[in-house]
Amino acid sequence: MADSRLALHAQGKVYIDEVFDAVAAVGQAKAKYGQENVVDATIGSLCDEDEKLVLLPTVEKVFRGLGNNDINAYSNSRGLPEYHSAAITQTFGDNKPEAYIEAVATPGGSGAVHNLIWNYANIGDAVLTHDWYWQPYSVLCSDSLHRLETFSFFDEQLQFNIKSFEKKVYELLAKQETLVVILNTPNHNPTGYTLTDAEWDQVLLTINQCAKGNKTITLLVDIAYIDYLAEPNKGRKFMKKFSSLSKNVFTAFSFSMSKGFTLYGQRMGALIGVSQDKNAIEEFVNATNITCRSRWSNLSRAAMTTMIGIYKDQTLLDQVGRERYQYVEIMRQRAKVFVQEAKDANLKILPYCGGFFITVPATDPVATSNRLRQSNIYVVPVANGMRIAVCAVPTKKMYGFAGKVAEALANS
């Protein structure tokens, strides 16, 4: 008998959840020493200053006020049209590109990334992203029979590494006809970096130059953390640049209600396609809709109708904006303490602009994280560093944190 009953393409899969071990360990520490004595920087969700998971009050009110039909009835596979227009408005704000724009509903941003990779990368091809990245990109690629390759996000001076990006795009397009590029910005996970408008110009120049003849590029901008921009309008200015891309470039945005509307468990998002070419957008809708139908049939109507309800009433929309903004401020305060103390302790951190996480580079992240646990501090070791969730640690526990990380690094 063969060693495996699985189909050839499904054999040998083992999911290693990099957060799992840290989350289990921090749970045990809280039970043993009490929550007040433990710093839990592992959680990837927004927590208030009492360490409770945040559900924005207005989102909760609209959600709990839904009638049976809005909760229980089937949706269609592509999602509700009013939801599409709300997701598009939420994504672009005042900076909508002049282009054809359409959306399909997806289970969170994760579903949007999957849908894009499946429909735009040829099987077996490489998908390109930065070397600091949200780990699931890797399985999202491998499970759909693609592979993830990376460019160096930062150069020696910790500036965006356009040279590495350019080199990788040229290199991969010499080998394949089409290339999917994923850029996670603003408020990148795990570093908190946001590409500047000038860096966007360089990225788009490279993409426009490389996508010609029979070569095409699909750029996916993963905007999971966009709603936590300190200046939402200014931070979306780069989107206008998508008004004048070559016909060989297709752009998409992965929108998520998880962070911006604090509805992580409702699994709601959207893949939003942008193109100068009407045919390209029609093709986008047709292909991605079939993927919706075949993978998950249709999605949480309750989450969609919550978004629709909020968008129908400007007062509610403004209220959600205000409630969310309080947490932008809280996270800014938490990060400010960490960044300042890191500076004082000569601790190198990656450039943080905003959002849920700060990253400290480390040569042996597991050893340093384990050393930190001796001080009851729990972080998530990632490929070349440690991810610190400023979204979850209350301000009072940020004091002294960076110093402890510096000490652990020196001693591990």
What is the binding site for ligand PLP (CB under 6 A)?
44, 108-110, 134, 184, 189, 222, 224, 256, 258, 264, 269
Tell me how far, at minimum, the Cβ of 376 lies from ligand PLP, in Å: 25
Tell me how far, at minimum, the Cβ of 62 lies from ligand PLP, in Å: 19
CB-based burial label for 114 (10 Å; 0-12, 13-18, 19+): buried
Tell me how far, at minimum, the Cβ of 291 lies from ligand PLP, in Å: 15
Q: Which is nearer to ligand PLP, 113 or 347 (CB)?
A: 113
Q: Which is nearer to ligand PLP, 225 or 280 (CB)?
A: 225
Tell me how far, at minimum, the Cβ of 153 lies from ligand PLP, in Å: 13
Nearest residue relative to ligand PLP (C-beta): 108
Q: Which is nearer to ligand PLP, 161 or 189 (CB)?
A: 189
Tell me how far, at minimum, the Cβ of 189 lies from ligand PLP, in Å: 4
Q: Which is nearer to ligand PLP, 105 or 362 (CB)?
A: 105
Cβ atoms 249, 221 nearer than 8 A: no
Tell me how far, at minimum, the Cβ of 1 lies from ligand PLP, in Å: 38
* Measured distance CA(187)–CA(356) in Å, rounded: 7
**Residue 283: which residues within 8 A CB-CB, separation 6 or more?**
none
Q: Which is nearer to ligand PLP, 253 or 378 (CB)?
A: 253
Q: Which is nearer to ligand PLP, 125 or 222 (CB)?
A: 222
Given strand 178-184, what is the order of strands in its sheet?
100-106, 269-275, 249-256, 216-222, 178-184, 126-130, 147-151
